[in-house]
């Protein structure tokens, strides 16, 4: 005979439980709270420098500093600007809409293809970002997205 809806639900629950993992400690969340001082400085260059400075004495900050080293300068600036914009906005729909606009903006920039080339195609080559320095990123263009 045919199984009922309960059989499907039991099977789905069993499947989800078999694939579940323990999330572990929320290390990034705790570290994010500790980044407040660095995130309060006026520009992305200073944020990156502050994190790098603290990395010498703190393994959590070293992990963040290592993770952002060599990343696309435009994306780093965009992330900071987007973070600050979200802090000023209580409307989740507006925040998600801004996230979507920013994702499209970044995806259509040549840096996206350059990152794909460096990481996936040439496997480990150093990307040639444009602009190459955070100081040269057009912050006004990002804010206008």
Supply the DSSP string of 86-103, one letter for each residue.
HHH---HHHHHHHHHHHH
**For 130, which DSSP code?**
S
Mean pLDDT taken over the chain: 86
Give the separation between CA 29 and CA 23, rounded to whole angstroms: 13
Instruction: Tell me which residues of the chain have a pLDDT lower than 50.
Output: 1
67: its two tokens: 């993770």
Confidence at residue 104, expressed as pLDDT on a 0 to 100 scale: 95
Confidence at residue 134, expressed as pLDDT on a 0 to 100 scale: 95
Q: Return left, alpha or beta for 25; rule: phi > 0 is left, psi -120 to 50 is alpha, else beta.
A: beta
Find where tokens 């694939």 sit. 19
Count the Cβ atoms, other than its own, within 10 Å of residue 76: 18
Give the HSE-up count for residue 33: Cα atoms under 13 Å, Cβ half-sphere.
4
46: its two tokens: 């200073």
Give the separation between CA 132 and CA 72, rounded to whole angstroms: 8
Confidence at residue 4, expressed as pLDDT on a 0 to 100 scale: 55
Confidence at residue 112, expressed as pLDDT on a 0 to 100 scale: 92
Confidence at residue 1, expressed as pLDDT on a 0 to 100 scale: 46
Confidence at residue 6, expressed as pLDDT on a 0 to 100 scale: 63
């Amino acid at each position: 005979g045919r199984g009922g809806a309960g059989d499907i639900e039991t099977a789905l629950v069993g499947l989800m439980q078999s694939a579940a993992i323990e999330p572990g400690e929320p290390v990034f969340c705790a570290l994010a709270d500790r980044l407040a001082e660095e995130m309060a400085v006026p520009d992305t260059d200073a944020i990156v420098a502050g994190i790098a400075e603290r990395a010498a004495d703190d393994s959590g900050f070293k992990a963040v500093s290592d993770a952002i080293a060599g990343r696309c300068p435009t994306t780093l600036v965009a992330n900071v600007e987007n973070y600050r914009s979200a802090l000023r906005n209580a409307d989740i729909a507006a925040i998600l809409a801004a996230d979507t606009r920013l994702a499209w903006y970044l995806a259509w920039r040549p840096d996206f293809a350059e990152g794909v080339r460096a990481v996936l195609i040439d496997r480990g080559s150093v990307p040639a970002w444009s602009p190459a320095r955070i100081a040269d990123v057009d912050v006004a263009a990002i804010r206008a997205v």
